[in-house]
Amino acid sequence: RKEVEQDPGPFNVPEGATVAFNCTYSNSASQSFFWYRQDCRKEPKLLMSVYSSGNEDGRFTAQLNRASQYISLLIRDSKLSDSATYLCVVRLNTGNQFYFGTGTSLTVIP
Amino acid sequence: GAGVSQSPSNKVTEKGKDVELRCDPISGHTALYWYRQRLGQGLEFLIYFQGNSAPDKSGLPSDRFSAERTGESVSTLTIQRTQQEDSAVYLCASSLSAGQETQYFGPGTRLLVL
């Protein structure tokens, strides 16, 4: 069983739309949670960490549900520049290995 | 300041040859990670270093893969007797310490084994 699972998509949404991605993790010992963004043929870059209380950064909102072991990312007012693959990442409370999901592809259409 | 750099950016090799991939982390970052990303796939953890030590080598796919780090700086990932299934992008990331959770990635080395 994979440590982190994501719907690969693709999600194709019009500009201005709101889109949400979910990610589930299998290990209850997971301690830290992140969303990374990866553009085509580029390296991943940290988008935001995910805190237990939920957190917001501009148009982006991340939430964590420990009971159900999933995290979510909400993007409001989608821009063309939001087109990318969004990677869900978790780290266990033991060791320092990060587990990456396979990513969810988003294309924002004009 | 400079980010994580990797070299070469692209490498084409013949099956059976050895290859060496290099990663220069951000100066002062003590933790360094290697990942593999096959085409259309997610990132696969290979190994991480805290300083020059590698506490977790569990992700290395086979004994053909090895990695070293010296001077708490440069790291090299060596693949011996390359196989076609080794073709992938090899990504390196660094962070201030193993407990510091933001990882900064290099641009990767695209390896093609013919």
Residue pair A21/A102 in contact (Cβ under 8 Å)? The answer is: no
B102 contacts: CB under 8 Å, gap ≥ 6: A46, A49, B95, B96
Segment B26-49, tens digit of pLDDT: 999 999 999 999 988 889 999 999
* pLDDT band, residue B98 (cuts 50/70/90): low
At B106, list the tokens: 């290099």
Q: Is B25 on the interface with A (CB under 8 A)?
A: no
User: How many Å lie between the alpha carbon of B18 and the closest alpha carbon of chain A?
Assistant: 24
Asked if B48 lies within 8 A of A97 by C-beta distance, the reply is yes
Segment A48-60, tens digit of pLDDT: 999 888 899 999 9
Segment A35-46, tens digit of pLDDT: 999 999 899 999
* pLDDT band, residue B100 (cuts 50/70/90): low
